[in-house]
């Protein structure tokens, strides 16, 4: 191959690489197909989250199944401390019927850092259903310990962290069996997948 052809091929490869790199303020994950964005419209504002189907395929599918079924519409935020917990209760503080628990994907390499979404669960590692939380700070104690399971991260807030922080400042207390519950009702009016 002549030197000119080698240079031309090299230039073409470089142009392709540059064109596929994320632009300012973007991440590679944000451009990856199959990482859907869901808008959670709450009574305090909208939070947009991007799911990571590559690292958490089971959890992402489970979450999208609940979103597409309209399950989260009308649910409340029921916990505010080092996380914001939601996805399971109505304004009457009754739990909504859920599907069976899913496989725990907490060993996928994603960490419970500020702004990430992770699944709530019981002691059984594979007991997560519909409830999830948004990390308000870096919560490494929720990541899997050596040889054990943590809380599976499956997405992150990409828009509306100001709304998350506003929710985090609401006064909390005890209400029925709930502790650290917001004293004002904060409703998820809708959860929907946004068109790409």
What percent of the chain lies above the pLDDT cut of 90?
80
User: Do 11 and 85 reside in the same domain of the chain?
Assistant: no
> Cα(91)–Cα(63) distance, rounded to whole angstroms?
21
Q: Beta strand pairing status for 75-80 and 153-159?
A: unpaired
Task: Using the predicted structure, report yes or no on whether residue 15 has a pLDDT greater than 70.
Answer: no
Q: Beta strand pairing status for 83-86 and 172-175?
A: unpaired
Domain count, the chain: 2
Task: Using the predicted structure, report yes or no on whether residue 29 has a pLDDT greater than 50.
Answer: no
User: Do 3 and 49 reside in the same domain of the chain?
Assistant: no
User: Do 11 and 64 reside in the same domain of the chain?
Assistant: no
User: Do 12 and 58 reside in the same domain of the chain?
Assistant: no
Q: Label residue 176 by pLDDT band (50, 70, 90).
A: confident
Give the pLDDT confidence score for residue 34 in this predicted structure: 76
Give the pLDDT confidence score for residue 45 in this predicted structure: 98
User: Do 21 and 86 reside in the same domain of the chain?
Assistant: no
**What is the rounded average pLDDT of the residues 43-57?**
98
Give the residue carrying structure tokens 């991260």.
Answer: 153
> Cα(128)–Cα(122) distance, rounded to whole angstroms?
7
User: Do 93 and 1 reside in the same domain of the chain?
Assistant: no
Task: Using the predicted structure, report yes or no on whether residue 22 has a pLDDT greater than 90.
Answer: no
Return phi, psi of residue 77, to 5°.
-85, 120
Domain of 164, in residue numbers: 32-193
The gap from C-alpha 37 to its chain's centroid, in whole angstroms, comes to 10
> Cα(126)–Cα(123) distance, rounded to whole angstroms?
9
User: Do 61 and 79 reside in the same domain of the chain?
Assistant: yes
Which of 152, 161, 132, 129 shows the shortest CA–CA distance to 44? 161
Task: For residue range 69-105, list pLDDT tens digits in order.
Answer: 999 999 999 999 999 999 999 999 999 999 999 999 9
> Cα(119)–Cα(134) distance, rounded to whole angstroms?
9
User: Do 60 and 80 reside in the same domain of the chain?
Assistant: yes
User: Do 19 and 36 reside in the same domain of the chain?
Assistant: no
> Cα(94)–Cα(24) distance, rounded to whole angstroms?
44
User: Do 116 and 89 reside in the same domain of the chain?
Assistant: yes
**Both ends of the chain: CA-CA distance in Å?**
42
> Cα(11)–Cα(159) distance, rounded to whole angstroms?
36
CATH number at residue 64: 2.40.100.10
Task: For residue range 128-174, list pLDDT tens digits in order.
Answer: 999 999 999 999 999 999 989 999 999 999 999 999 999 999 999 99
Q: Label residue 114 by pLDDT band (50, 70, 90).
A: very high
> Cα(164)–Cα(159) distance, rounded to whole angstroms?
10
């Amino acid at each position: 191959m002549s030197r000119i052809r080698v240079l031309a091929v090299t230039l073409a490869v470089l142009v392709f690489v540059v064109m596929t790199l994320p632009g300012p303020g973007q991440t590679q994950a944000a451009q990856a197909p199959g990482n859907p964005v869901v808008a959670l419209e709450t009574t305090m504002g909208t939070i947009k989250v991007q799911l990571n189907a590559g690292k958490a395929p089971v959890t992402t599918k489970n979450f999208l199944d609940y979103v597409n079924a309209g399950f989260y519409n009308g649910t409340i935020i029921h916990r505010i401390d080092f996380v914001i917990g939601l996805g399971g209760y109505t304004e009457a503080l009754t739990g909504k019927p859920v599907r069976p628990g899913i496989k725990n994907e907490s060993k996928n390499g994603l960490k419970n850092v500020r702004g990430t979404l992770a699944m709530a669960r019981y002691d059984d590692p594979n007991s997560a259903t519909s409830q999830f939380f948004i990390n308000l700070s870096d919560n490494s104690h929720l990541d899997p310990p050596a040889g054990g399971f943590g809380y599976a991260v499956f997405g992150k807030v990409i828009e509306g962290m100001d709304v998350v922080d506003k929710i985090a400042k609401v006064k909390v207390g005890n209400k029925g069996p709930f502790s650290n519950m917001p004293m004002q009702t904060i409703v998820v009016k809708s959860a929907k997948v946004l068109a790409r």
